[in-house]
Amino acid sequence: MRAFVIEEPGRTRVAEVDRPVCGPEEVLLRTRVVGMCGTDLSTFRGKNPLVTYPRIPGHEIAATIEETGSAVPAHFQPGLNVTVSPYTNCGKCASCKRRRPNACQFNQTLGVQREGAMKEYFTTHWSKLYIAEGLSIPELSVVEPLSVGFHAAARGRVAEEDTVAVIGCGVVGLGAIAASAYNNAKVIAIDVDDRKLAVAKQAGAQFTINSSTSRVHDELAAITGNLGPDVIIEAVGAPATFRMAVEEVAFTGRVVYIGYAKEPVEYETRLFVMKEIDILGSRNALDEFGTVIDALRGGRFPVESIISRVVSLDEAGDALKAWSDDPGAYVKVQVSL
């Protein structure tokens, strides 16, 4: 079968690989659509420290069950469309013992630490499947990245009385916006691109700030009555936005980091103490898949608006290079097999 491979930074190809065979508790899935994410872009650029090469990427998955193993529950039938949780957990580390397997110390995500789904067929354990009847194939493929944003909102304990600012309107940031709006919070979207900010409004943001043309501090002060947002969710992963979150959050507020900066970040640490803020990391998703599926069924997220380009497996390499050359031009690139 055919698979898309990132051979090394900046070089890709479509290769022939062996078609997998499912074990007793596994399903064989025919890949329908895989979304490219920022992790794949970092792998292509050689900036992902978790990846070794060559690597088949892909963990934002819509697939159809092709075959099932002998021990797979009967309701997983061939022909059923599903999405997939791409994470693993060891069950033994400190995170797993605290029932937070999303942050497993030894996690291996599809397309990152192990081969991903950007190939014609792949296998996985049946427990990783999510049935989402009523969702389209493109909708199935955005469940995972939106779940990451929903998890960040959960980490920030977003509630109805909160004002939440989300820095960065990629798909994960848009997920955090949608989750905060889902919880009836007041939501402010911050980005450098007006096109992404327009999508953020469709996802539930009541206010938008273009940080390339406006002073973020002044805009946030005007919106919040000089108090600052109760929660700031950082979904960019840059030193400047890491600092901005701490500087702009309200006293006793919460800062949630989804992305991580690729270089050291210098802080004015007195703000940590003076404001008595909670600083929280957010990794992967925990139990948010079902919530996202319900939100999509309710038409509460503009899936069509975030899909910038759909390409074939043969076109995936050129699309990845184009995205790397001009990241602001794309929200989501999907590969259709």
Burial (Cβ within 10 Å: 0-12, 13-18, ≥19) of residue 238? middle
- Whether cis (ω within 30° of 0) applies to the bond prior to 145 is no
Reported confidence tier of residue 172, pLDDT bands at 50, 70, 90: very high
How far CA 150 is from CA of 31, 135, 174, 178, in Å, comes to 25, 18, 9, 8
How far CA 308 is from CA of 89, 150, 311, 323, in Å, comes to 33, 22, 10, 10
- pLDDT per residue over 80-136, tens digit each? 999 999 999 999 999 999 999 999 999 999 999 999 999 999 999 999 999 998 999
- pLDDT per residue over 49-84, tens digit each? 889 999 999 999 999 999 999 999 999 999 999 999
The predicted pLDDT at position 327 comes to: 85
- pLDDT per residue over 192-220, tens digit each? 999 999 999 999 999 999 999 999 999 99
Cα 208 from Cα 284, distance rounded (Å): 26
As a whole number of Å, the end-to-end CA separation of the chain is: 12
Reported confidence tier of residue 191, pLDDT bands at 50, 70, 90: very high
Mean pLDDT, range 225-234, rounded to an integer: 98
Q: Mean pLDDT of all residues in the chain?
A: 96
For each of the domains in the chain, give its residue range(s) and CATH number, in order of start. 2-142+301-336 (3.90.180.10), 148-281 (3.40.50.720)
The predicted pLDDT at position 251 comes to: 98
Residue % of the chain over a pLDDT of 70: 100
Question: How many Cα atoms are found within 13 Å in the side-chain-facing hemisphere of 80?
Answer: 18
Question: How many Cα atoms are found within 13 Å in the side-chain-facing hemisphere of 316?
Answer: 30
The predicted pLDDT at position 263 comes to: 85
Contacts of 226 (CB under 8 A, 6+ apart): none
From the CB of residue 124, how many other CB atoms can be counted at a distance below 10 Å?
A: 23
pLDDT surpassing 90 at residue 260: no
260 compared with 192, residue with greater pLDDT: 192
The residue type at 249: V
The predicted pLDDT at position 45 comes to: 95
Residue % of the chain over a pLDDT of 90: 94
The predicted pLDDT at position 186 comes to: 98
The predicted pLDDT at position 272 comes to: 95
String of DSSP letters for 111-168: TTTB--S-BSEEEEEGGGEEE-TT--HHHHHTHHHHHHHHHHHHHTT--TT-EEEEE-
Reported confidence tier of residue 329, pLDDT bands at 50, 70, 90: confident
Can you read off the two tokens belonging to residue 106?
Answer: 């030894």
Can you read off the two tokens belonging to residue 320?
Answer: 């990845």
